[in-house]
Structure 1
């Protein structure tokens, strides 16, 4: 939508306007914000489009799409006219003698969210709703009499059009409400419609391979899966033919069960990604698919989409055959079990043991080759354990182990192979960091004693930074800063390479149970295999917008998981007011943020009136907690010399 609204500045030809854009255009025509000249539509002078931000004080700030505006534009609260945080709006510039430009909201063109989450709070004699994401208080479409029957702190989901209450989620003081809040903020759903559930369960529980005679029968090969110990769905299985140096990467054939434009497909497209909480997952597909007939469970036949990748003596992929198959996973391993096998501390099935050890040696060499152009970041993923009451039991960082590396390089081979087969579709691109971010990184590194001079070869520069960090023993901390300076990897319909991995072509093929991007790709690859150009082109309809939406949904899925953990940390902090903990500074700028680095790790603590370099170790006292926003406020009482 941003591209369309921007293009109105230079004129949009009537014949190139898409369906969803035409709906917006009708709104703009109705309020006379656009004019038509020689079959082209232009935005009239004085109007401006952009995204709305709203401060905690209620003042709006329009971030214009028009690049001629170098600053955001102020919209006073009285001129917001019912628009919400994150909405794409049309505003009209107003006459003002003030230094900053001011505007009034004329129309909401695209709502960021159809709903909001609020909790009830008393203001004087009135009960109002306080928006959980921005702290703004709003009147609710309900009588004061009915609102007063609810306990204060009741969490409500409301319709953004008229502030009508659509659902009562629970109360703020109940830990079980956290999951509902995190999902509701981003309009995510846990349950599926009956239509989706019926469609999913219609495929049954088992695969009869005699019904799939056109598929390659690989059920005689000893495939295995390697996943976290608590995994419920298994996207991928591997097998290595060591005599011929051939790696088989078998991926759950979800597209066999989820047809394009079916009810299941529409729901999967709406969700985009599975969401993972510490205690459960919210799957993209119903569990009768994601944890059953689609999942490559052990000891049963399953449909798979397989890459058979042959390597030469230099470990280059010389043949990458793709086909539909039936496999029979012989073993379900956890990462820990495979680590013990690789360390020769544990024996397993002899047939699997015979190939998994030589495969590990192959993948170690593949990684060495890959890192000549890509990067190895020692980042750790935070894991949280919660009890049945919804409180934190413990946190830990999950380190990459040999088993993780083995699986990763097998999946990378398959993803690269898939990307080579199409020139348009769904690619995973990662652009190099821009000059501004690299210069900020170099400034931060200088404070840590790493003096580096900018060079245009970023691969070489980052390698040198990591080498210096290794020498002084702060590699993990420095990798955090390098990752922070990177751009985010994104989906696109055209290939632009993956900077972080050092690949010219890359896509996501290996997780169709939990990523819609991979499901689309599977359909495109099948059309390509069948030489069905008509179907291939049909599947590509509106692919640019689909990729844009996938990027948004991916960020939302991450935010839901982070918001949930923030809420658990906030409840923990409520029990630890005025206690002190060791932290390190993780963010500086408008607000300094410390990360908890004590027995419990990972909580963000917002510091008032404190500035110091990134990664500085400090002792922080917890001063206050806002359960609604899940915000922990702290004060530095000691700076540690380390």
Structure 2
């Protein structure tokens, strides 16, 4: 048996150097000067009258006095793609030079899209011929070529690669007589990696391996590499998830400096730590989480005031009391950005001594917290609020299931056990419904998609796949966290303090047009196209509620919208119909929440931040927002792939069985079906043997040329599982019903 790769820090991630505190005045002042210089250069280049200048011309024109610092700033900006140096050695900004800068999102068919750095700017399509050796996730510069003949889509050509992303790749090795190659797990790389003899490190055909890329691809030439580690043989227990960990560069161990810092922390709240904090240890409060949760970062309390308003307390673990800015622990948290919840494990942002220990709001022990109190009236309006550092002591660690049994099922045994909390739970349900109703009135889009729960045996094999439907207990916590995040965001927006916002931009016009064409086939449309409001989406969802096409229309609408992300600019949250929104409530597992806590604590301590401090914070916040958004995207992809893998693996022994399903999407090559357990697979058009089928992109349907038989999104079908391909995460179905001529 091959020795598994040591679980050490293996794959380089972005070097983060958070600087939310002032440690060294001299180095800080130099950094401030550098950032100020960069901003001055950008502002100068963006002026309408600016024409590209050589470095010495730019230096003289802007009357700088330190040539070394100027050149250092200019080189850093060029490396980042913020400025471009032409072949004639003249500098300008990309937006004035017909260029796009951003991350390349590849496709397994060879083409890709440049996701531009500038918020709200459309992606740029890159054909396979214009990729010019760039690979998925590379940071690139593209020359804009105009719009393609099919419509308004902007096309481009990669002219420069600023940063290579795939220095290491994961895949399956295949040995040949003269050489070998690795088929990458990341299909968006679209090319196998050539492995010369002598660079196999003992790998044999079928091994899952890690490859270090030694030569980048050229036209008609694949990338080359050498094997640096063997994860295990394909099909061996644990190899599948371990491959996902490697593929996404997810770290499994914390560096020694981090562990050394953790070892010096007190795992109990000390009296010294409680000084200056609001003492809430006697306030009745609980946590409500899933039964298997170990990192408990939010607790809630609720009282009804004499004026009948609600006094809601949301108490969040004060991670900032333990993770000091600029420390090894902080730098590692910045790099990780988020905890990752794979199907069989959690890869935490913080060591478990913090995430499951001193920072976790475990019951009947003192914990440090950041508390937000809100007075909320019967209409769900926040009339007053207060944000404070606190020390708390949780009464009970409740689960969603038990709270549901108390509030909804009226379970006599649980009501007796938690009799002193029952009234609070009843009032929490009332407030939850009030807050939810207010959100829906203002236009929040309510996508109620069930989640999947995969149960594994002790060998990591899936034994059950079930839907997880949210109960009122889930909704209580969701509503309380939402209103807290909004309240905090609005408070600090009005305070004019640099902040990390959670934003969700309005959908692109082209995608909205496509959505309306689809909805028209159901007699529906999104109103207010020129100035779209999220309420128009919810209006459509309300109309199809309970109808067979409800889930399908919701899915297509969701695909129309942009992804939420972090930003230093508050542009609102389209999906929530919220003018202000942030992530404040989960600092154990999300770095932006930790950043927000620090800003709040500093603001509370100093009362008002100086303009110099705000400038420095603004620079850090912008970087942290970009980093956190990227790490969140990686975590989401890894989590989704781990679940999809186990879904397919679960179906391996069910070939030949029949299932009821619904058509979830339609393409030119067939249609995908979704089973009751949310497992999805393909019915290929070649299996529709009774006719030739044409694809109608507008209606998202396949229609028989002669029979008129039609397959549309949402249609119920009976299917038979024909083939399972775990490597490709693919299930192939055939129709169980016989198609007539």
TM-score bin (small chain): 0.7 to 0.9
* TM-score after normalising by structure 2: 0.75
In the alignment, the residues of structure 1 paired with residue 548 and residue 156 of structure 2 have an alpha-carbon distance, to the nearest angstrom, of: 52
- Compared with structure 1, are the counterparts of its residues 400 and 241 closer, same or farther at alpha carbon in structure 2 (3 Å cutoff)? same
Q: Distance in 1 between matches of 2:511 and 2:270?
A: 55
More divergent stretch after superposition (276-285 vs 309-318): 309-318
Query: Whole-Å Cα distance in 2 between the matches of residues 150 and 74 of structure 1?
Result: 32
Q: List gaps (5 residues or longer) in structure 2.
A: 1-13, 15-38, 63-69, 216-224, 689-701, 703-710
Q: Which residue pairs with 1:516 in the alignment?
A: 591
Cα offset, 1:151, TM superposition: 3.3
Task: Name 2:288's counterpart in structure 1.
Answer: 226
Q: CA deviation at 1:116?
A: 0.8
Match of 1:152 among 205, 208, 217: 205
Q: Structure 2 residue aligned with 1:539, among 617, 628, 632?
A: 617
- Residue 274 of structure 1 deviates from its aligned partner by 0.9
Q: CA deviation at 1:603?
A: 3.6
Question: 1:458-607, aligned counterparts within 5 Å?
Answer: 458-470=533-545, 472=547, 474-530=549-605, 531-534=607-610, 535-589=613-667, 592=670, 594-598=672-676, 600-605=677-682, 607=684
Whether 1:418 aligns to 2:488 is yes
Offset at residue 334 of structure 1 (A): 0.6
Instruction: Say if 2:684 is the partner of 1:628.
Output: no
Distance 1:582 1:639 in 2: 15
Q: Over the residues paired in the alignment, what is the CA RMSD in angstroms?
A: 3.8
Shift of residue 587, structure 1, vs aligned partner: 2.9
Partner Cα distance (2:124, 2:432) in 1: 49
Structure 2 residue matching 1:143: 3-state secondary structure: coil
1:125-155: CA deviation from partner (whole Å, max 9, x where unpaired): 53221111125322226617x55x4332111
Aligned residue number for residue 468 of structure 2: 398
What does 1:131-280 correspond to in 2, within 5 Å? Answer: 131-134=184-187, 136-140=191-195, 143=198, 146=200, 149-162=202-215, 163-209=225-271, 211-243=273-305, 245-280=310-345
Render the CA deviation track for 1:250-294: whole Å, top value 9, x for unaligned.
000001111122111111111111111233211111100000000
Q: Is the 8 A contact 2:368 2:391 kept in 1?
A: yes
Q: Structure 1 residues 289, 102: CA separation in 2 closer, same or farther (over 3 Å shift)?
A: closer
Check 1:196–1:298 CA distance in 2 against 1; reply closer, same or farther (3 A cut).
same
Aligned position for 1:87: 138
Residue 426 (structure 1) shift: 0.6
Name 2:18's counterpart in structure 1: none
Contact 1:246 1:311 in 2 (8 A): yes
Alignment match of 2:518 (pick from 412, 425, 444): 444
The number of residue pairs the alignment matches comes to 622
For 1:125 and 1:71, locate their aligned partners in 2 and report how far apart those are by CA, in whole Å: 38
**Any stretches of 5+ residues in structure 1 without a counterpart?**
none
Name the CA shift for 1:161/1:231 in 2 (closer, same or farther; >3 Å): same
Secondary structure of the residue aligned to 2:320 is: helix
Deviation at 1:117, TM superposition (A): 0.6
**Aligned 8 A contact 2:370 2:387 in 1:** yes
Kindly state the Cα deviation for residue 475 of structure 1 after the two structures are TM-superposed: 3.8
Residue 22, structure 1, aligned to residue 74, structure 2? no
Q: Residue 230 of structure 1 aligns to a residue in which SS?
A: coil
